Amino acid sequence: MTQDELKQAVARAAIEYVVDGEIIGVGTGSTANFFIDELAKIKQRIRGAVASSEATAARLRGHGIAVFDLNDVPSIAVYVDGADEITAAGAMIKGGGAALTREKIVASVSGQFVCIADGSKLVETLGQFPLPVEVLPMARSAVSRQLAQLGGEPRLRLKAGSSEPFITDNGGMIVDVLGLAITDPVALERSINQIVGVIAVGLFASRGADVCLLGTAEGVRTLT
Ligand code: 5RP
């Protein structure tokens, strides 16, 4: 099976977690996009969705799914999203698609976080994938110096094919931190959250995934 077929398989499996009559939280990325396409097939069963990025909102609307502002939604039963890396315990690195801040916010008000990922995303120790940190533009250098003190190698994310910094949906910039072996994800998430100028860190550890649907050649594995 190709990586896309594995992503499609977990996206299909995640439909089992959709609660009828509710508003669902929807993540960002290629796996989340497959989920949106599956969700479209059962859209009459849900009230709508809260999106974790402008790209996700556009794809949901394109399928005729109502997109709600999070401010109008007191709680969400289920949030479905991909990951760049995930451990068997459900700690994740996210933000390869630069949507980490809104993903974290939507996840924080959701009862259940269902992570959907192809099997290559399962790791023993987080950190092979550069850790994305969203920062306020004026603080990018100051934050990068502090991230270097934590043992990482910070790199400002650039727009594809350009020397201009990438700008997020929130007007922030992304510093990707290479070379971290994250043995204590909860402690590192806390430390990075304390750096002034950080908007959010793409470590989802203190609130990780409750369920992970992992696409493998043998079928969809469920990790809880
Ligand atoms: C976006 C994310 C994505 O969930 C993560 O990058 C995985 O993406 P994909 O499903 O394309 O592999 O965190 O900010």
Q: What is the pLDDT of residues 52-72, one digit of tens each?
A: 999 999 999 999 999 999 999
163 CA → ligand 1 middle, Å:
23
Output the pLDDT for position 175: 98
Distance CA 172, CA 135 (A): 6
Phi, psi for residue 202 in degrees, rounded to 5: -80, 25
The ipTM, to two decimals, is 0.98
Q: Identify the pLDDT of residue 171.
A: 98
State yes or no: 82 annotated in a binding site: yes
Q: What is the number of the ligand 1 atom nearest to the C-alpha of 117?
A: 10
Q: Verify whether ligand 1 is closer than 6 Å to residue 95 (CB atom).
A: yes
Q: Whose CA is nearest to atom 6 of ligand 1?
A: 96
- In the predicted structure, residue 181 carries a pLDDT above the cut 90: no
Is residue 28 pLDDT above 90, yes or no? yes
State whether the beta carbon of 29 lies less than 6 angstroms from ligand 1.
yes
* Angle ∠(92,177,78) on CA atoms, nearest 5: 25
Burial class of residue 145, CB neighbours in 10 A (0-12, 13-18, 19+): exposed
Residue 168 known to bind ligand: no
Instruction: Find the mean pLDDT for residues 1-11.
Output: 95
Torsion angle (degrees, nearest 10) of CA 198, 131, 60, 167: 50
Q: Check: CB of residue 82 under 8 Å from CB of residue 117.
A: yes
